[in-house]
Amino acid sequence: MGSGACYATTNPACPALTGSVSFTQCVPSASSNCGASGGFNFDAIFNYVGQSICTSTPGGACVLSTCTPQMVFSNGDDAGNLTIAGGSIPSGRTVTNLDNGVYSDAAMGSWFTGGQTLTVSASGGTVPAFGPQPVIAPPFAELTSPQVPDAGVVVIPTSADLTLSWTAGQSGATWTIMMGYETSDKSLECGWDASLGQGTIPQAMLALLVAGGSGPAIANYGQTTTTTFTAGRYDVTESAMVYSQRAVTFQ
């Protein structure tokens, strides 16, 4: 069966394609890198085809990514116009394909909070029309250890395994943290069942992250809920994350 026929059918002989849809909200805070108003992002791509420039090193619940700085062109399938709604998203908000299959929208402000239902719909293209498809945003789960100061930077010890603790972890959600120097090609991302309330980063992974690094560093951390749906042959993952971004220092 030809690829064109596969695009138009749900025949099990045709392999499934994947898609990703994400809503993210950086919580407003005078001491956060997102500022007092916060920041909203929406991103989507279907059947991503691109050049991988990153290598991954796993360790415990973490993955260290090392990426070569170079220009990468990505392509995805067209889903027509995407309409997003929910929370304080303006009515009729439409996100268009950027001619390479990438959908992206960003705005300052707090556009959704925990417990609110967000939806995405597609007018259809290569990806069949779908929606509205819902995902319920999680509450923000603040980091409690290491301590997050009202102002200034979060201190991340790196000489031993590091146990993180957080509040408001929700069953079925994932709590994640991503850290790295702003000028480095390395980043460390770790994730745990949010309801556990804590997780440990192996010292070996911290050592890999800070080796050779210097200068300003940041951490994004928060809670994510995820759901899935199908649109023709596309298995789509839809997520909502509420997070904070803080300056950190490694010692």
What is the model's pTM?
0.90
What pLDDT digit, counting tens, does each position of 163-193 carry? 999 999 999 999 999 999 988 889 999 999 9
What pLDDT digit, counting tens, does each position of 51-105 carry? 667 899 999 999 999 987 655 556 899 999 999 999 999 999 999 998 888 999 9
What pLDDT digit, counting tens, does each position of 100-152 carry? 889 999 999 999 999 999 999 999 999 999 999 999 999 999 999 999 888 77
Q: What percent of the chain has pLDDT over 90?
A: 75
Q: Where are the domains of the chain?
A: 18-242
Concatenate the DSSP letters of all residues of the chain into one string.
Answer: --HHHHHT---TTSPPEEEEEEEEEEPP-TTSTTTTT-EEEEEEEES-B----EEEEEETTEEEEEE-------B------EEEESTTPPTTEEE---SSS-EEEEEES----TT-EEEEEE--SSSPPEEEEEEEPPPP--EEES---SSS-EEE--SS-EEEEES---TT-EEEEEEEETT-SEEEEEEEEGGG-EEEE-HHHHHHHHTT--S-EEEEEEEEEEEEEEETTEEEEEEEEEEEEEEEEE-
Residue 10: per-residue pLDDT:
53
